[in-house]
Structure 1
Amino acid sequence: MAAINFIQQVSKARNGLGSFVLPCKKILITYCDFGGSSVGMRDFLRSRLKGFASQYPEIEFQVLEKPGFHPVIKGFYTNEKSKQICCRKWNADVIENKLKLLINSTGSKLKKPKQNVISLNSSVRGIWSPFHVDPSQRYKI
């Protein structure tokens, strides 16, 4: 049991060291076979899914029929996070663009930087001081 945990820790994806690993590892596509909101998803599954999935052989695509539910695409990532997008009443082009968005995402939520950017270069103008002004003009308003 300890050997398996060690192997999982060693084989954790580290992009940039040796090779690039896509953060997205699995895409789950759910749709309804008779619902009106799934028309675009059914069109995508019939005409485009095979070609789209062949572009990304390292990602597992799973299609699941859920009667009575709106179509949803869900991405699972290597950092144990997931994202889902509801595809209700979307056409096949929009669904393909959203799948690309899920594939190119990391699964993490967007955050603001915690610190302001600090430059190591000095300003072009230099540091302003009131003593840099001509003495005859210093106290004139």
Structure 2
Amino acid sequence: FDLQQCCVITSVLACSKQKNKVLHRISPAAGIMSNSHLFLKSAFPRAPLANGVGRYVCQLQRITLKYCKNHGSSKGMREFLENDLVDFSRANPGVVVYVKPRRHRTAVMSAEYLDGDRQWVNCGNSTRDEIRKWVEVLRTQATGPAGGARLRKLWHTDVPSVQGPWTPFTHQHPSTNVAQFPSEELGRVQGQPQTATEVLLEMFKAQQLEGGNKSGKTEGSS
């Protein structure tokens, strides 16, 4: 081999080795990312114990706000405690609020629900508005089988329909199956009140029928 061919072969080998290294680095992470959803349970969205059918009961029962009095990452939590905590407690008397200061620890929210579930939210370096939104999320969400699970569908019913989903032809007369479209009779607007012209035409036709019946009776009597 001459010098030029040797340089080409060495460059190809170097590129293949570098490519194998990159693939070796990426493949484990790619496998984890692609297979992570396989370990999630699948469920349908549903309210615990049919909550909301009668009187709504807030599922959040206790929330604990942990923060540091001096650390900079807890600035947003301290602002929330100073400005918004009292209003939140007044608006939600059924939720018990605990404030727990901790030295040199990041800000954390811990929420406990009626079914015994507990969720944590890391509030380090979060602003006051972000913390207020997270508190609202913890207050309004409901835990249960669908919490932290992969949703199969965005709706669920305990009693599925026997006749299937509704369509515009569900309650129509069977004659529409063999009708020729476009049809003037089927194309009329349904449920529209009669106009004055249509009312007068019906009265005129009724008078004609009455006149025809009277003339027939007189001819028969004569």
1:1-141, aligned counterparts within 5 Å?
15-16=51-52, 18-107=54-143, 108-113=147-152, 120-121=164-165
1:40 to partner: Cα distance: 0.8
1:123 to partner: Cα distance: 7.9
Compared CA separation, residues 92 and 121, structure 1 to 2 (3 A): closer
CA distances 1:88-107 after superposition (whole Å, capped 9, x unpaired): 11111110000000011123
CA distances 1:50-98 after superposition (whole Å, capped 9, x unpaired): 0121111110000001111100111100011011111111111110000
CA RMSD of aligned residues (A): 2.7
Q: Which has the higher contact order (CA 8 A, sep 6+)?
A: 1
Give distance in 2, aligned partners of 1:55 and 1:102. 15
* Structure 1, unaligned runs of 5 or more: 1-12, 125-141
User: Match for 2:113: what amino acid?
Assistant: Y
1:14 to partner: Cα distance: 6.0
Quick check: which one's strand share is greater?
1
SS at match of 1:62: strand
Quick check: which one's helix share is greater?
2
Task: Name the count of aligned residue pairs.
Answer: 112
* Structure 2, unaligned runs of 5 or more: 1-48, 169-222
Q: Which has the larger radius of gyration?
A: 2
What is the TM-score normalised by the length of structure 1? 0.69
Give distance in 2, aligned partners of 1:85 and 1:16. 26
Identical aligned residues as a percent: 25
Give distance in 2, aligned partners of 1:46 and 1:102. 20
